[in-house]
Structure 1
Amino acid sequence: MLGRDDTTARASDPVTAPREAPHIDAALVRRLVASQFPHWADLPVRPVAVDGWDNRTFHLGDEMTVRLPSAEGYVPQVEKEQRWLPLLAPRLPLAVPTPLAQGSPGEGYPFPWSVRRWIDGETAAAERIGDPVRFATDLAGLLTALHRTEPAGGPLAGAHSAFRGAALATYDAETRQAVELLGDRIPTDTVREIWATALESTWTGPPVWFHGDVAWGNLLVRAGRLVAVIDFGCCGMGDPACDLAVAWTLLAGASRTAFRAALDVDDATWARGRGWVLWKALITLDNPDPVRAAEARHALDAVLTEYAESTRA
C-alpha cells in the first residue's frame, strides 16, 4: 500500500515467501520464451524501468511483458490473474493487464510465469498527476465498478491476497507490537485510538471484489490522467476497505475529500481503510530502505492529520 513492493513478506507476516527464485535476468527470460514460445523468440527482452517486489517484469518487444514471481509465496498470483483478469477487464472503466500466455517452470526457474500485453503509461507519482481531484474521482469510479462486479465465484480473501480484504484484526498483534517497539517516536495514545476505532467494525455485507494493492506504483497515468490499474496479484473477494488506503498514501486535501465523496463509503469502512494504512506504516517505519521508511512516515503523518481533522468536524 505504500508502493510497488508493499506486500514484502516478513517472518511475522501471516503469509511468507519461503522459497526464492534463482537470479532472474533478461538472459533467463530469453531462454524461457525461446523454449516455450518460440514464435516470440526473436523479440528483444529488457527490464521495465520500475519493477515490483512480488514479481520481476521484463519488456518482450514493444507490446508485451513477461512477469516472473520472485518467490514461491507469490506463485498463486500467476494463475489468479490469468483466470480472473479477463472477467474483470470488460467491467472496468480503465485498462487492466491482458494475459496472453502462461509459461511453465524451466531453464532452472522453478515457478509458472506469464506474458501479458504492455500498457503504456507512467506510474502515478504525485508530480505526474495533472489534476488531483479529477484523478481521485476517476480512481473512485474504477474502484466502485470493481467493488460492484458480480462475484462469479472469485477467491475469498486469504493468504493468496496477503490477507487484504480479510478482517483487519488479522494484523492486530503485529500492530500492537509495532506500537510498543516504536515507543515515543510516535504519538502512542492517538495511534492506539485510531487502531481501536478501525477494529470496531467488520465488513457485514457479502464479499466484494477488491484490488488489494491500490498504490501509486500500480496506477498508470498518461498526460496527467489516470489510464490504467495494474498488478492484481492481491485481488480477491472480501472487505473493500483495503482499497481505500490510497486516500492517505497518495491523495490529500481536496483530492482525498473528492475520493471519499465519489466512493460514498460509510464512516466504519473509512476507519478500516485508515487502519490498513496505519498498520503498514507502523511496521515499515524502521525499514532499512530509506525510501520505504520515508513513505511510511508520510503515510503515518497523513493518517494522524486526517484523523485529527475528522474528530474536530
Structure 2
Amino acid sequence: MNQIDTGLVKRLIGEQFPEWAHLEVKPVKFSGHDNRTFHLGDKMSVRLPSDAAYAPQVEKENKWLPILSKELSLPISTPIAKGNPSEAYPWPWSINKWIEGETVTKQNVRDLSKFAAHLGSFLVELQSIDASKGPIAGAHNFYRGGLISVYDEEARDAIENNKDVFDETVLKHLWDLALQSTWRRKPVWIHGDVAPGNLLVKDGKLCAVIDFGILGVGDPACDAAMSWTFFDKSSRKIFKEVLQIDEETWNRARGWVLWKALITYDANKISNKIVAEESYRVIQVIVNDYGR
C-alpha cells in the first residue's frame, strides 16, 4: 500500500471525485491514530483508515451519522461521500464536512465545570436516541460498550508488570470493582472515544463532537472516560451528575480508563517517556479520586 500522504489523497480525489481535484489538499493539524485526516479545500476533509482494522468504521459512519446528527444539538462529523478501495489504497475512505473549531485543551476551555455539563448533556442526548437497530458493541469498535472483561488478562498483566511502580492491591481492587457489574438496561448509543482530540471548542465552549469511528450501542460507561483523563475534582462531579451515572456504571467507567492507562504505560515506559508519563498521571488521578 502507498504511504498515506497528500500525494495519495490527491490521486484518490482525482480518480474518484474529479470535480474536487482542483481543491488544495493538506494534512490537518491534529490527526488521530485510527485515521489519517486531510483538508480538502476549506469546507471538507478526507479521512483514510490507517489499518484494515479501522476500515469497517467508514461504512458505519456513513450509515449512522446522518441519522444521529438530526437528533443532536451539537454538530457532529457529517459524511459527504464515500471513496472506494483502489489500486492505490485498499480500503474504503470518506469525505466529510469540515467543522471549524479548536481541539480541546485545558487552556482553551473557558470554564471547565460548564464544559463538563455541556459534554454530559450531549452524551445524554446521544443515549436517548433509539438504539434498537444500532451496531452492538464488538470487535468492530474494540468492544467499547461491551463487557470490559474482554480486557481482563491485559489489565492484570499490566498490573503485575508494574507492581513496583503502582500499588498493586489498590489497582487490583479497582479492576475487580469494574468487573463486578454489567449494564442491565437497554443498549444505548455510545461514541466510544470521548477524548479531547475528538472534541472541538469555539470561544472556549464545546462546539462539536467528531470521530465516531468506534460508535456502537451498549453500556455507556466507556463514554465517561474524561472524568479522570481531563476533568478536575469539581468538574468530574458535575459531569457525573449530568450523566446521572450510578455507582456500578461509574466503577466500570473507571475500569475502562484504568485498563487503557495501564496497558499504555506498560507499552511505553521505556520507549516513549512522554506517553508513559501521561498514563502514569491518569492512574494517579484514578487512585487519588477513589481514595477521597
Aligned partner of 2:276: which letter?
A
Task: Note the C-alpha offset of 1:292.
Answer: 2.0
Q: Within 5 A, what are the aligned runs for 1:1-313?
A: 21-286=1-266, 287=268, 288-309=271-292
Report percent identity of matched pairs: 49
1:5 is matched with: none
8 Å Cα contact 1:96/1:230 also seen in 2: yes
Structure 2 letter corresponding to 1:77: Q
Contact kept, 8 Å, 1:28 with 1:107, in 2: the verdict is no
- Conserved in 2, the CA contact under 8 Å of 1:140 and 1:263? yes
Which stretch of structure 1 is more off in the superposition, 238-247 or 288-297? 288-297
TM value normalised by structure 2: 0.97
Distance in 1 between the 2:187 and 2:131 partners?
Answer: 8
What's the RMSD between the two structures over aligned residues?
1.0
Between the aligned partners of 1:162 and 1:283, the Cα distance in structure 2 is 15
Is contact 1:31-1:107 (8 Å) kept? no
Structure 1 residue 298 displacement after superposition:
1.7
Q: Normalising by structure 1, report the TM-score.
A: 0.91
5+ residue gaps in structure 1? 1-20
Q: In structure 2, how many angstroms separate the alpha carbons of the residues matched to 1:205 and 1:151? A: 12
Task: Tell me, in whole angstroms, the C-alpha distance in 1 between the residues paired with 2:5 and 2:55.
Answer: 18
Aligned equivalents of 1:95, 1:156: Cα separation in 2: 24
Inter-partner Cα distance in structure 2 for 1:290 and 1:101? 40
CA distance in 2, matches of 1:149, 1:300: 33
Find the aligned partners of 2:17 and 2:72 in 1 and give their Cα distance: 30
Contact 2:132/2:187, CA 8 A, preserved across alignment: no
* Offset at residue 107 of structure 1 (A): 4.5
Q: Deviations over 1:69-118 (max 9, x none)?
A: 01100001000000000011111121101100000112521111000000
Letter in 2 for 1:225: K
Take 2:198 and 2:277, find their aligned partners in 1: how far apart are those partners?
A: 19
> Does the residue aligned with 1:220 lie in a helix, a strand or coil?
strand
Question: What displacement does 1:294 show?
Answer: 2.1
CA distance in 2 between counterparts of 1:126 and 1:293 reads 19
CA distance in 2, matches of 1:114, 1:84: 14
Is the 1:60–1:66 Cα contact (8 Å) retained in structure 2?
Answer: yes
What is the number of equivalent residue pairs in this alignment?
Answer: 289
Could you tell me whether the CA contact under 8 Å between 1:93 and 1:141 is conserved in 2? no
